[in-house]
Structure 1
């Protein structure tokens, strides 16, 4: 039940961050974009700030805003909301990490670890 509440809040957050996409990634945000051909569940966690969770279709982006004092946040992807295993990646604050291909058990292809 708590998970659903977080999810609904994240969906609201995703909509409120849509304007930020036009000008790029905010300096205090951690963002993740789904560049795979499939829809997945994504998480963006900003240091000292928000944790956003949402289903993202191909091409969609999710951001969470936090503090700029810690320069690293975390992005994650799961096959669906019921999944226990997924992929996570430490990312610099102020940039968008692209998830290129989902592979079970933390073997996903990200823009920062693949050509």
Structure 2
């Protein structure tokens, strides 16, 4: 699998500072780890966003279909073959607490 950044992905709407209560047409992924990682947020109607996200920042896809399910993914970097992915309903935000290879990341939704 090859992961590439496309110019198209960067043209879609995104936010680095998502509010705690996000829009019902948005899907967000927040980086609460101590390192910058490559984040991917993909939701029906909003396309796919790919960007390196620093600690404490978020990547949000706006304009998604309310009630749909999107996918959020985290990779160690642009050249990583393995990462972590999670299904998340549109209108919610997921938090990546710690990155661990081979789909063993610590997520906010299963750490409460």
TM-score norm. by structure 2 comes to: 0.84
**Hey, what does 1:3 align to over in structure 2?**
4
User: Which structure: greater helix fraction?
Assistant: 1
Match of 2:58 among 51, 55, 61: 61
Aligned to 2:103: 106
Counterparts of 1:107 and 1:20 in 2: how far apart (Å)?
A: 25
Query: Is residue 45–residue 64 contact of structure 1 (8 Å, CA) maintained in 2?
Result: yes
Inter-partner Cα distance in structure 2 for 1:23 and 1:109: 19
Note closer, same or farther for the CA distance 1:9–1:59 as it changes in structure 2 (3 Å cut).
Answer: farther
Q: Return the alpha-carbon distance in structure 1 between the equivalents of residues 46 and 11 of structure 2.
A: 16
Q: Deviations over 1:63-93 (max 9, x none)?
A: 11321252x1110000001111000001111
Q: Provide the secondary structure at the position in 2 that maps to 1:25.
A: coil
Inter-CA distance 24–69: structure 2 relative to 1 (3 Å threshold): closer
Q: Which residue of 2 aligns with 1:91?
A: 88
- Residues 20 and 26 in structure 1, CA contact (< 8 A), matched pair in contact too: no
Say what the alpha-carbon RMSD is for the aligned residues: 2.3
SS in 1 for 2:35: coil
Stretches of structure 2 lacking an aligned partner (at least 5 in a row): none
Q: Aligned residue for 1:51?
A: 48
